[in-house]
Amino acid sequence: MDQGYLGQWQRVCARLRSEFGDAAYNSWLRPLKFEQIDDGMAHLQAPTRFMRDWVLSHYGERIRAFWQAEDSSVREIEITVHPVAGRAPVAGRVDATLDGTVGAPFAAPGSTPAAIPATSADPQALRMGSSLDARYQFDSFVVGKSNELAYAAARRVADTAQVNFNPLFLYGGVGLGKTHLMHAIAWHIRDRDPGREVIYLSAERFMYQFVRALRDRETMAFKQVFRSADVLMIDDVQFFSRKDSTQEEFFHTFNELVDQNKQIVISADRSPSDLEDVEERIRSRLGWGLVVDIHQTDFELRLGILEAKLARANVADFPPKVLEFLAHRITSNIRELEGALNRLIAHSHLVGRPINLEMTQEALQDLLRANDRRVTIEEIQKKVAQHFNIRLADMHSARRARAVARPRQVAMYLAKQLTTRSLPEIGRKFGGRDHTTVMHAVKRIEELRQTDAALAEDIDLLRRMLEA
């Protein structure tokens, strides 16, 4: 082995250790073995496929950059899994492309290529389980009554290494800011305390990595990754539903991190108790800490979001009446609201027309029609009360007579099916009832629809009337 090249590798290792810290270095980089440099390619060996994929995804670009600083002729890094009985070597590679960015890892035929987060000039961004969106930070999050508690809790988690509540569980409908807050927490911790190991990923990605570790018989390496994190953040945990093996692994990972007093942040589209087909022991643990419901936005918050987006985009002279119109008409979620603003700006630039109310209605007619069709809980209550010939006040009353209770359950069921409101929000609209009452009503009506043809017909008729 050329001692000059070995010395280069040792200096690269020293720089990696300095940048990523002892914990990451000892877990992922120390086990790598230098083999040789051949025709501009540095060859390394890793003990397992899982470790090879993880190193390529999270540290490959930095290894190549540091090595190029030592020897400009090194253009690529290849990591080969050391052969074990019954398995051929598998290679992965990081290439220096013409513009100097990191390319996708090469995988041998029949193997699964590693996923690489979006390339960033800041190497710390590569330590996250998934790539982070630089737009999603605390200073770009607009706070209102519907999300102020979620924002305050997220800031508390990000501002201190002390674990005040574990887990922090954020839930709400689509496009209300859950993912924004999770990204903001990760970015803030990275900037404030780079030595803390933060892993952010979606529930789907957690499941994919776990299945791959099972397939490659590398579950111990998988466990080491997630159980050594200082902060573990999992988005959209409702996708664990009916994934028994993934739930089992998550359960043990959760317990291990809590025992070590490490922070866990979870998001979902519903509260822990409403996660269907998720084990009771997991639901109870998810409810241990602080559970925060992010409500639907109000007009003031929607208007504030639009104004903040215009300021970031540096768009001047946007008609205030158009902003107010958008905030009034597009109420479903923030993503649709921001998408509508983007469409208007692009339409104006492309066709050369000034933005006004007339142009807004023409350019967004499909989106406005879709929002016009959205049903409110009040409309559902009114239609159901009329159909079953009961008073509208009975929707909020404490009466339990079947002639009143059954229509009330039907209204709750339709509210769950036709609106984006969470179960607690629906419960509040029915006389301040608990979300478990709504959950029971939805389940009961679903059961009755299978056995009671007359009730099923009534519900279908009501649904067509409300959607018309």
CA distance 47 to 76: 20
CA distance 227 to 253: 6
Q: Looking at residue 225, what is its pLDDT?
A: 83
Q: Convert the pLDDT of each residue in 29-76 to its tens digit.
A: 888 888 888 888 888 888 777 778 778 877 888 888 888 888 888 888
CA distance 207 to 20: 26
Count of alpha carbons within 13 Å of 80, Cβ hemisphere only? 13
CA distance 97 to 103: 7
DSSP letter (8 states) at residue 168: E
Can you give the pTM of this predicted structure?
0.57
- DSSP for 95-159 reads EB-TTSPBPPPP--TTSPPPP-PPP-SSGGGGGSSS---TT-SGGGPPP-TTTHHHHHHHHHHHH
Sheet (strand 91-95) strand order: 33-38, 41-46, 76-81, 91-95
Residues 334, 172 contacting (CB under 8 angstroms): no
Instruction: List C-alpha distances in Å: 267 to 202, 227, 452, 456.
Output: 9, 19, 37, 34
CA distance 436 to 272: 11
- Phi, psi of 349, deg, nearest 5: -70, -40
Strand 290-294 relative to strand 263-268, pairing: unpaired
CA distance 230 to 232: 7
With H, G, I as helix, E, B as strand and everything else as coil, classify residue 28: helix
Return the structure tokens found at 49.
């496929």
Of all helices (H) and strands (E), which one includes residue 43?
strand 41-46
- DSSP for 257-317 reads HHHTT-EEEEEESS-GGG-TTS-HHHHHHHTSSEEEEEPPP-HHHHHHHHHHHHHHHT---
Spatial CA neighbour of 65 closest among 57, 52, 53, 74 = 74
Q: Looking at residue 403, what is its pLDDT?
A: 87
Q: Looking at residue 158, what is its pLDDT?
A: 92
Count of alpha carbons within 13 Å of 75, Cβ hemisphere only? 8
State yes or no: cis peptide before 31, omega within 30 of 0.
no
What are the beta bridge partners of residue 84?
87
Return the structure tokens found at 373.
């069709």
pLDDT in tens, the chain (468 residues): 456 778 888 888 888 888 877 767 877 788 888 888 888 888 888 877 777 877 887 788 888 888 888 888 888 888 888 744 433 344 444 444 322 333 333 232 233 333 333 333 333 333 335 677 888 899 889 888 888 999 999 999 999 888 888 899 999 887 888 999 999 999 999 888 888 888 898 888 888 888 888 888 888 888 888 888 889 999 999 888 888 888 999 999 999 899 889 999 999 988 888 887 888 999 899 988 899 988 878 888 888 888 888 887 777 778 888 888 888 888 777 888 888 888 888 888 888 888 888 888 888 887 777 666 567 888 899 889 988 989 888 898 888 888 889 999 999 999 888 887 788 889 988 988 888 899 999 999 999 988 888 888 888 888 877 765
Q: Looking at residue 372, what is its pLDDT?
A: 60
Q: Looking at residue 2, what is its pLDDT?
A: 58
For residue 325, with 0-12 CB atoms within 10 Å meaning exposed, 13-18 middle and 19 or more buried, which class applies?
Answer: middle
Write down all domains in the chain, each with its CATH number in brackets: 3-117 (3.30.300.180), 138-294 (3.40.50.300), 299-372 (1.10.8.60), 377-467 (1.10.1750.10)
Strand 168-172 relative to strand 263-268, pairing: parallel
Return the structure tokens found at 377.
């809980």
Return the structure tokens found at 232.
């573990």
Q: Looking at residue 413, what is its pLDDT?
A: 92
How wide is the angle at C-alpha 12 spanned by C-alphas 10 and 14, nearest 5°?
70
- DSSP for 364-410 reads THHHHHHHHTPPPHHHHHHHHHHHHT--GGGGTS----HHHHHHHHH
CA distance 420 to 431: 19
Residues 411, 401 contacting (CB under 8 angstroms): no
Q: Looking at residue 353, what is its pLDDT?
A: 84
